[in-house]
């Protein structure tokens, strides 16, 4: 069993000795219809094994020349995200607390009731609503997109200086943030200045890796590195 080639490329693009953040979609869940948005589903057996495989890879158990130091894990409250995080740590061989984080479940939702009505109005088609957010339309119950992006980046604790020294046998430190496809896609589309038709939708257990070089946000995504100069309204929120 292997993870995506682009994910391995992403992991190997990261400079040694830094603190990076893996923003990861949960592993494989049971099949559902397009309009079934239940967050109660867990992982399939294959999904559990794939997440454990990723953990083993990160822990240097599959490639003796590659190991990272996992320091922190945060996750959406949904069972498939929680289980993905648990399986990664099981494969890695490290017992650390998994922190449940609301933003990783619903970063753009300002009012749950209004959002649900809006979602149903558009026949549960999240792609339509993501594009409207990217177009900076005023949506009832939804935060402005720059604030949603700031919330997600703030959760990643880029400027937390505790435990920044990685182990001697590790290439770099990696915090893991397990969430859902639509949240990661919105972040990437906004930061890379693309619309929803310009990017292939992400797979389960696929993610991007983020880190800062001075004030520039670097993103490793599908084998390439992007350098983003954040707008002040976002940078201010994540530095404070």
- Rounded to the nearest integer, the mean pLDDT of the chain is 93
Q: What is the pLDDT of residue 162?
A: 67
CB 175 within 8 A of CB 69: no
CA-CA distance, 26 to 204, in Å (whole number)?
A: 6
CB 14 within 8 A of CB 20: yes
User: What's the average model confidence in pLDDT over 60-78?
Assistant: 95
Which of 32-41, 107-116, 129-138, 208-217 bottoms out in mean pLDDT, i.e. has the lowest? 32-41
**Among the listed residues 174, 198, 160, 151, the one whose alpha carbon sits nearest the alpha carbon of residue 59:** 174
| Structural domain harbouring 210 | 5-239
- List, for residues 133-170, the tens digit of each pLDDT value: 999 999 999 999 999 999 999 999 998 866 566 777 89
User: What's the average model confidence in pLDDT over 68-72?
Assistant: 96
Number of structural domains, the chain? 1
Q: Per-residue pLDDT for 35 more than 60?
A: no
Give me the CATH number covering residue 35: 3.40.50.1240
pLDDT-above-70 percentage for the chain? 93
User: What's the average model confidence in pLDDT over 92-109?
Assistant: 96
Q: Per-residue pLDDT for 33 more than 90?
A: no
pLDDT-above-90 percentage for the chain? 83
Q: How many residues does the chain have?
A: 240
Q: What is the pLDDT of residue 34?
A: 54
User: What's the average model confidence in pLDDT over 211-224?
Assistant: 96
Q: What is the pLDDT of residue 163?
A: 59
pTM of the predicted structure, to 2 decimals: 0.94
CB 205 within 8 A of CB 231: no
HEC-encoded secondary structure of 96-134: CCEEECCHHHHCCECCHHHHHHHHHHCCCCHHHHHHHHH
Q: What is the pLDDT of residue 103?
A: 97
Give, in degrees to the nearest 5, the angle at Cα 196 between 38 and 15: 90
**Among the listed residues 192, 103, 187, the one whose alpha carbon sits nearest the alpha carbon of residue 145:** 187
């Amino acid at each position: 069993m292997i993870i995506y080639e682009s994910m391995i490329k992403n992991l190997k693009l990261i400079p040694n000795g830094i603190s990076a953040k893996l923003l990861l979609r949960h592993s494989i869940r049971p099949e559902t219809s397009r309009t079934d948005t239940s967050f109660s589903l867990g992982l399939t057996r294959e999904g559990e094994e794939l997440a454990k495989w990723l953990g083993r890879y990160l822990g240097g158990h599959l490639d003796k020349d590659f190991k990272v130091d996992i320091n922190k894990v945060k996750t959406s409250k949904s069972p498939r995200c929680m289980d993905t995080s648990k399986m990664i740590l099981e494969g890695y061989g490290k017992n650390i607390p998994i922190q449940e984080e609301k933003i990783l479940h619903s970063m753009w939702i300002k009012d749950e009731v209004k959002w649900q009505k809006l979602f149903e109005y558009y026949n549960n088609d999240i792609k339509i609503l993501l594009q409207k957010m990217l177009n900076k339309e005023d949506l009832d119950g939804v935060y402005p997109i720059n604030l949603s992006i700031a919330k997600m980046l703030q959760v990643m604790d880029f400027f937390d200086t505790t435990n920044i020294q990685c182990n001697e046998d590790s290439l770099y430190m990696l915090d893991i943030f397990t969430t859902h496809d639509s949240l990661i896609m919105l972040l990437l589309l906004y930061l890379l200045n693309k619309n929803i038709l310009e990017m292939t939708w992400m797979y389960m257990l696929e993610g991007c890796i983020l880190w800062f070089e001075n004030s520039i946000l670097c993103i490793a995504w599908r084998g390439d590195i992007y350098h983003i100069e954040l707008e002040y309204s976002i940078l201010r929120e994540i530095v404070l």
